[in-house]
Amino acid sequence: MSQTTSQAKFSAEAYATPIFEHLVSTDRALYVPFLRHAHPDKEQSPTVNLARNEEQLPHAIPHPITGIICLLVTADDTPYWIPIDRVAHSETCDKCASLWSYLRERVQSLGQGESFYAGARTHSPLGETMILVDAEDLDD
């Protein structure tokens, strides 16, 4: 199977997931909770915009470590691949509140300047892009 065919198959599977449907089915703002926790001079949970392809669907790839769906988003005009389980509506969304609570607990256990997120450089349709890596993904 060619890489283009496998990417198309993956994208079709990604678009069919309940979390994907929930996140993109409304015009509500999307966030990456506590993305910038270790940077006190910046907003900790930036709003993000989904980058869309020519069919107006969000770009999606598998995470290289976990295989989870990653969405291509922009925050402050900077592109990021973010695992779909780290993108949420506001804390008032019933389906997204548990992610905010879980990540808030993790933040409270960190020391000053520590973070549980890191980034690796990769590529995207928007050029060189960071892909989000969670420290828990590396604990094996």
Note the pLDDT of residue 127: 86
- For the beta carbon of residue 88, count every other beta carbon within 10 angstroms: 25
- For the beta carbon of residue 59, count every other beta carbon within 10 angstroms: 21
Residues 6+ apart with CB under 8 A from 114: 38
Note the pLDDT of residue 67: 85
Note the pLDDT of residue 8: 41
Token output for 57: 């669907």
pLDDT per position as a tens digit, 66-97: 888 899 999 888 899 999 989 999 999 999 99
Note the pLDDT of residue 36: 81
pLDDT per position as a tens digit, 91-138: 999 999 999 999 999 888 888 778 888 888 888 888 889 999 888 877
pLDDT per position as a tens digit, 6-43: 444 444 455 557 888 888 877 889 999 988 877 666 67
